[in-house]
Structure 1
Amino acid sequence: MSLETIIYIIFAGIIALLLALFQYFKKGKNRSKLDLFFSFLRFVTLFSVLLLIINPSFDQIELSIEKPSLVIAVDNSSSIKHLKQDDKTLGFVKSLKNNTELQEKFNVNIFTFGNQLREGDSIDFTDKQTNVHDAFKALSQIYKNTNAPTVLLTDGNQTFGNDYQFVTNSYKQPVYPIILGDTVSYTDLKIQQLNVNRYAYLKNEFPIETILVYNGSERVASTFVVYQGNQKVYSKPLNFSKQDNSKIIHFTLPANKVGVSAYRAEIKPIENEKNTINNIQNFAVEVINEKTNVAIVSDFPHPDLGALKKSIENNEQRSVSIVGVKEFVSKVNDFQLIILYQPNSKFKPVLENLKTLKKNYFTVIGTKTDLHFINNSNLGYRVDITNQKEDYQGVLNTNYSPFYIDDMGFESFPPLLSNYGGVQISQPIDVVLNKSVQNVTTNDPLLFTFEAEGRRQGVLLGENIWQWRAHSYLENQSFHEFDNFIGKFVQYLASNKKRSRLNIDFQSFYNGNSHVIIKAEVFDKNYVFDTREVLHITVKNKGSKTEKTFPLILKNNHYEVDLSGLEPAEYEFSLSTKNDKITKTGSFKILEYHVEQQFLNANAEKLQQLARNSSGTSYFINNANGIIKELLEDKRYVSVQKSSKNTIPLIDWKYLLGIIALSLSMEWFLRKYNGLI
């Protein structure tokens, strides 16, 4: 409490006392014997009221004991069950959880991980993939400022993600790996990796690369075979030894039939081979009969050209050519979609050809665009000419209806450079992104599409989209999200199909270790996204003829269903809406691939290195009880006494109001009782 507040309180006491004495002692000789007591009660009332007006604050210090956290992270992937370590793991987790000494010293928190980290002790060893690195990444956010030694129960076999061996650069907690499985080396042949393109073109040959690995000391012979159904389409005899223990095979197969073609690659097992699951790998190729040729027409070089080309060609069904105006005019019939990058007056013959041939096109308008040429070309929109530049960020329009768009966080993307001013549009458009200036969203479009005269057009009012692609990579360590966005945009513009009220987003085949996600959008008769609709999908196994029906869940601006629980097979599906009775059908294939069953033993070396890097200790599951003693005796893990200071204003002290009410009541009652009122 400050000196100034103390002075105010003293003055308040003096004033309250003077007022109380003045009221009851001003009568002189006719004073009652009770006046002194009445003066005291009035003083209490006045002083309390003045205290409330001053409202001094008091510091309250609370002491608490904070125990360190003990993190138990359990590998919930199916490889633990495959290595027959599931019962030992469950038993050890139970012993840690029920240990009273650990409970007294630590706050014990249990997590499971596979595809992602989850809190809780629901352990069933059913996850199809393992990402140890991402589990530590999530834990580093949870225990960023606390002392939290981590017991990691895993076989150390990671199926995707960054190398977790050096995760201690970001995760600053001691890690105690409990190694599940043995390190005995078994003789084994396996398909380490198989690389193949997702798409192939009819009457062409598609390349395949296979990496085969042998673990053993004896010289052995085997055969690598590829089957399509029951038909052998490729075969090659191979010899392995301790020194020559890996082979890389390159070969091609013909694409003779449109659609999904499934194959089975197999390296024939050798005698006494313990694990034969990793000898087989299924793969598929979708054979297509057409390719979308895209032309980017530009009068000058720019980084955007390369970024657009890379993004579009990420889908092998598309090919991009960067051409000048004269070259394009001579090859106009070779392209299904044209991108006009910052057009000027030289583009006049280009627009004339596009109008005559009724071809779809996408226009990028930037600071080097001739806006007079744009405004005089009767394109259905006019751009304000101000001779000033401005940076604009994009805000996704969640009601955009022509096709489904994932929100990649456009508001955090670098701004695009454009001309300052708005755009006047003379026809209905569908806005993909609105402009945002200094975090203020405007009604002006940044990216939009429209249909006119039987063709589709798109317009982007900004340059430097290459920065968006780079930002997407920095955020996700992959170009996939941005390339997928551009791919959908190009797919829509390259097609002339009529808009549908029910759109489905799915793949023709899924690998057995990936999520089988089907997304859908449904629109009302005005093509506004309908959040009140009920969607169901009925999936039929072509082989067993069994059917299952699943509801789709509304997620932001789309509906979604996860069919990852389906067994590998070929499926037909029918997706329908309950209210408007709209139905669409399709088919997909789930390939059999058990990535978690490719391992014979634990990756002890990497887990031991992780323990050394983090100042922890590694244990094998059979002698892991020593970790309890180590954790209890380690002086780094001690409880910490913390103090917290709370500043409480007097007005929050409810008893003061009671004192005021009590003193006033007593004064009134006594005066009434004595006939003074």
Structure 2
Amino acid sequence: MSNQTLILLIVSGIIALLLALFQYVYKSKNSKLRAILIPLRFIAIFATLVLLINPKFEAVSYYEEKPNLVVAIDNSESVSYLKQAEKAKSFFESILSNKALEDKFNIETFSFGSDVTSVDSLNFVESQSNLSRFFKNYNELYKGITSPLLLITDGNQTIGNDYQYAVNKKQPIFPVILGDTTTFSDLRISQVNVNRYAYLKNRFPVEAIVNYSGNTEVLAKLNIRSGNSIVFSKNIKLSPSKTSEIVNTNLNATSVGVKTYRVELAPLDNEKNTINNYKNFAVEVIDQKTNIAIVAETIHPDLGALKKSIESNEQRSVSILNPKEFIAQDKDFQLVIVYQPNTNFKLAFDKISDQKLNTFTIAGASTDWNFLNANQPYFTQEITNQTEDYQPILNANYGTFIVNNITFDNYPPLRSEFGSVTFSVPEETLLYKTINGLITDETLLSTFEADNQKHAFLNGDGIWRWRAQCHLDTESFEDFDNIIGKLVQYLSSNKKRNRLNLDYKSFYNQNENIVISAQYFNKNYEFDADANLEITYRNKETNVSRTLPFLLKNASYVVDLSSITPGDYVFTVKSNDEPISASGVFKILAYNVEQQFLNADVTKLQAIATSTNGKPYFIDQANSVAEDLINDERFATIQKSKRSVIPLIDYKYLLGLIALALSLEWFIRKYNGLI
């Protein structure tokens, strides 16, 4: 309480006393009741003045804060494959039921596979292990809070970045290793690298990485089969000093379609794990390539980002040309990307118009809008000679093609001309502009069709930042490359638009997310959010079929088939409201990545324990884990104080005191005939 407040309270007390004395000493001659009425009047007046002054008091409370103990358990299939599931579950339950641990720590539990979840039940059936994602979430959630980690895992990661470099060294990690250090002689194909697409009558490269663990020299034979035929064979000599070899070859693409192959190693005598001795892969053979021209006069990072994004699909080839080179080219282009045009693009625009080419126009801070407005009839930009930064927001009702897995939240802004754009043809906006979080009706990215041509218009430069942001958010360029790929696929095709469109791959690996997307339009080609779609798929080998409904997600319908077994499938998607359907085929390649491991990754788990001042334990020696954690003086309960300032007006009993004093005063005066 400040000195000023204290003075005001003293003055208030003096005023209240003087007023009470004035009322019952100077004004009243009844001396019998003064001893009672003066205090009551003093209390009422003084308490009222105190409420007006509203002094504030500091209150200090003390509480104890226990450290967190984060218990994370690996719920992937490799745990059960290594025959550690029962031991892991038993140890996990023993930690949760330990009363001494519960008294010392706030115990928080998680399980992880391809994602991180709270523990509902443990079944050890997750098809992927992503420890780096778990560590990323753990580091963010417990930043600056004492939270040692008890990590129950075999340490075998199948997707994500190397988790050894993702740990927070300020938090001690205690790995409980599901496995042992026993080693066995083992041959394995750790990786097969091959392009997804090949071209008819060409040769495509295949790279197989073979690894060996063992104490003797061995001679292994590697075969690549197509059906029952061996298309490549090689003998490999491996030893304790030479534990790996990279095998390269080129295979012929003789016919169009999805071609499956099997890379296999002849197993060693008494080899314990033979599942990792083979791996299937597939190549889709196509007979043509989509040619795309990027016409630009300036050097800009956007050009490289667009080229990499488009060519992430091997079916497409991108040529970056200046306007003069484009005019001289006689190559057949299915799409022309016009980047920040100016007056030097006049003949290029004439060629595009004469050949009826589809276009993707990208404008920005260097665009000559007087030229662009005059040399195409589809849109007009208001010219202000000022630029502005615009952030994107996705139009969830966009229906020209399917947009999945990307929201554009928190994406960097693009720079373009300030002012509105007016379209002279019907357009559909994929991205709107936002300024400082305010959504505008102005288009940032639109598509439209006119004169039997398809066009897109992006009103901003700096798209390379979006590709970089995508990688920061997801550790992959895939989501951004997918949406650019779908935009390019739409623009480079002159097929008539269908009311039912499907989005799927021709083949999947067994551990992939197998998701089929569909879009359904009404007769006016407007997206129908009330459609009743279902898919019927059939395994060609077993002839077993199943029907599932589609679920609405944003502006598309999706169905997840990730649980189905490997094989060749045919499917039909149909509407239950109208006689409209579409069919397709896909293949699922057998490959269980979680069954490729023979041992726990002991070395890496021991390394993260050492680097974080933790301690590793093997599951068979884990009885002392709880005792060590309880006796570790680094994890002591901390007493903390909380200081809060409380205004007196919050004390409701003071109002009650005023009401009580005034009521008693009135009653006494009334009873004695003074009123």
What TM-score does the superposition give when structure 2 sets the normalisation length? 0.93
Q: Tell me whether 295-304 or 616-625 shows the greater mean CA deviation.
A: 295-304
Alpha-carbon shift at residue 460 of structure 1 (Å): 1.9
How many Å separate the matches in 1 of 2:101 and 2:86? Answer: 22
Q: CA 1:14–1:557 in structure 2 vs 1: closer, same or farther (change >3 Å)?
A: farther
- The question of 1:3 aligning with 2:12 is answered no
Q: Give the structure 1 partner of residue 502 of structure 2.
A: 504
* Correspondence for 1:16: 16
1:393–1:411: 8 Å Cα contact kept in structure 2?
A: no
The CA distance in 1 between the partners of 2:646 and 2:290, in whole Å, is: 70
Map of 2:140 onto structure 1? 141
Structure 2 residue corresponding to 1:448, chosen from 446, 449, 470: 446
- What's 1:273 paired with? 271
Mapped to 1, the partners of 2:26 and 2:571 lie a distance apart of 98
Structure 2 SS opposite 1:165: helix
CA contact (8 A) 2:169 2:611 kept: no
Contact 1:116-1:135 at 8 Å conserved across structures? yes
Structure 2 residue 380 is the aligned partner of structure 1 residue 352: no
What are the within-5 Å matches in structure 2 for residues 161-560 of structure 1? 161-168=160-167, 170-331=168-329, 334-406=332-404, 408=406, 410=408, 412-523=410-521, 529-533=527-531, 535-560=533-558
* 2:399–2:555 contact (8 Å) kept in structure 1: no
Q: Secondary structure at the match of 2:484?
A: helix
Q: C-alpha displacement at 1:258, in angstroms?
A: 2.8
Q: Distance in 2 between matches of 1:222 and 1:296?
A: 49
- Consecutive unaligned residues in structure 1, runs of 5 or more: none
What SS class does the counterpart of residue 28 from structure 1 fall into?
coil
How many Å apart are 1:211 and its aligned residue? 1.2
Asked whether the 8 Å contact 1:332–1:353 carries over to 2, the reply is no
Partner of 2:49: 50
CA contact (8 A) 1:195 1:210 kept: yes
CA contact (8 A) 1:396 1:407 kept: no
Distance 1:16 1:531 in 2: 73
**8 A contact 2:539–2:567 mirrored in 1:** yes
Q: Is the 8 A contact 2:398 2:555 kept in 1?
A: no
Following superposition, the deviation at residue 631 of structure 1 comes to: 1.5
Shift of 1:339: 1.2
Q: Deviations over 1:397-429 (max 9, x none)?
A: 333221233474646333333333332322222
What percent identity do the matched residue pairs reach? 50
SS at match of 1:660: helix
SS of the aligned residue for 1:412 comes to coil
Partner of 1:84: 83
Q: Partners of 1:661 and 1:428 in 2: how far apart?
A: 72
Q: CA separation in 2, counterparts of 1:434 and 1:472?
A: 18
2:117 is matched with which residue?
Answer: 118
Residue 593 (structure 1) shift: 0.9
Q: Measure the CA separation in 2 of the matches of 1:594 and 1:581.
A: 39
SS in 2 for 1:624: helix
Report deviation, 1:67. Answer: 1.2
Tell which deviates more after alignment, 554-563 or 174-183: 554-563
Shift of the alpha carbon at 1:64? 0.9
With over 3 angstroms needed to count, the CA separation of the structure-2 counterparts of 1:6 and 1:453, relative to structure 1, is same
Q: Distance in 1 between matches of 2:571 and 2:245?
A: 41
Deviations 1:167-197 (A, max 9, x none): 34x3421111111112222111111111111
AA matched with 1:568: P
Offset, 1:453: 1.2
1:478-504 deviation line (CA, Å, top 9, x unaligned): 322322222121111112234444443
- The CA distance in 1 between the partners of 2:652 and 2:498, in whole Å, is 65
Check whether the contact 1:76–1:113 (CA below 8 A) recurs between aligned residues.
yes
Letter in 2 for 1:155: D
- Aligned AA (1:665): S
Task: Give, in angstroms, the shift of residue 96 of structure 1.
Answer: 1.6
Provide the TM-score with structure 1 as the length reference: 0.92
Residue identity opposite 1:150 in structure 2? L
Tell me, in whole angstroms, the C-alpha distance in 2 between the residues paired with 1:482 and 1:292.
Answer: 19
Give, in angstroms, the shift of residue 257 of structure 1.
3.3
In terms of mean alpha carbon deviation, does 583-592 or 133-142 score higher? 583-592
After TM superposition, give the deviation of residue 25 of structure 1 in Å.
4.3
3-state SS of 2:434 partner: strand
Corresponding residue for 2:617? 619
CA separation in 1, counterparts of 2:205 and 2:331?
Answer: 30
Indicate if the aligned counterparts of 1:542 and 1:569 stay in contact, CA closer than 8 A: yes
Task: Provide the secondary structure at the position in 2 that maps to 1:158.
Answer: coil
Contact 1:205-1:255 at 8 Å conserved across structures? yes
Which residue of 2 is the match for residue 28 of structure 1?
28
Give the letter aligned to residue 145 of structure 1.
G
Could you tell me whether the CA contact under 8 Å between 1:509 and 1:588 is conserved in 2?
Answer: yes
Residue range with higher mean Cα deviation, 514-523 or 604-613 = 514-523
SS in 2 for 1:351: helix
Structure 2: which amino acid aligns with 1:5? T
CA distances 1:450-477 after superposition (whole Å, capped 9, x unpaired): 1111111111222232333334334444
Q: Residue 542 and residue 24 in structure 1: after superposition, are their counterparts in 2 closer, same or farther (change >3 A)?
A: farther
Amino acid at match of 1:43: F
Measure how far apart 1:333 and its partner are.
5.7
Count of residues paired in the alignment? 675
Does the aligned pair in 2 maintain the 1:166–1:613 contact within 8 Å?
A: no
Deviation at 1:87, TM superposition (A): 1.1
Q: CA deviation at 1:102?
A: 1.4
**Contact 1:309/1:320 (CA < 8 Å) preserved in 2?**
yes
1:548-587 → structure 2 map (5 Å cutoff): 548-576=546-574, 583-587=581-585
The change in CA–CA distance for 1:380 and 1:663 in structure 2 (over 3 A counts) is: same
Residue in structure 2 matched with residue 602 of structure 1 by the alignment: 600
- Render the CA deviation track for 1:337-375: whole Å, top value 9, x for unaligned: 111222233333332332233221111223433322222
Mark the CA change 1:536 to 1:56 in structure 2 (over 3 Å): closer, same or farther. farther
- Aligned AA (2:424): S
- CA distance in 2 between counterparts of 1:501 and 1:2 reads 75
Instruction: Describe the shift of the 1:407–1:161 C-alpha distance in structure 2 as closer, same or farther (beyond 3 A).
Output: closer
- 1:672 CA drift (Å): 4.1
Q: Residue deviations 1:103-134, cap 9 Å, x none? A: 22122222211212222262211111112222
1:83 and 1:481 map into 2 onto residues whose CA distance is: 34
Distance 2:655 2:330 in 1: 87
Specify whether residues 172 and 585 from structure 1 end up closer, same or farther in structure 2 by C-alpha distance, changes over 3 A only.
Answer: farther
Once residues 649 and 538 of structure 1 are traced to their aligned partners in structure 2, the CA distance between those partners, rounded to angstroms, is 68
Contact kept, 8 Å, 1:446 with 1:462, in 2: the verdict is yes
Structure 2 letter corresponding to 1:484? N
C-alpha distance in structure 1 between counterparts of 2:547 and 2:662, whole Å: 73
* Paired AA for residue 342 in structure 1: Q
Query: SS where residue 611 of structure 1 aligns?
Result: helix
In the TM superposition, what whole-angstrom CA distance separates every residue of 1:544-602 from its partner, at most 9, and x where no partner exists? 33334444444444443332222222233344456667544333222211111111111
Letter matched to residue 399 of structure 1 = N
**Alpha-carbon separation, structure 2, partners of 1:542 and 1:504:** 21
User: Taking structure 1 as reference, are residues 653 and 310 closer, same or farther at Cα in structure 2, changes over 3 Å only?
Assistant: same
3-state SS in 2 of match to 1:629:
helix
Q: Give the Cα–Cα distance (whole angstroms) in 1 for the partners of residues 19 and 581 of structure 2.
A: 86
Question: How many Å apart are 1:641 and its aligned residue?
Answer: 0.3
Once the two structures are TM-superposed, the CA of residue 640 in structure 1 deviates from its matched residue by 0.3
Alignment root-mean-square deviation, CA: 2.6
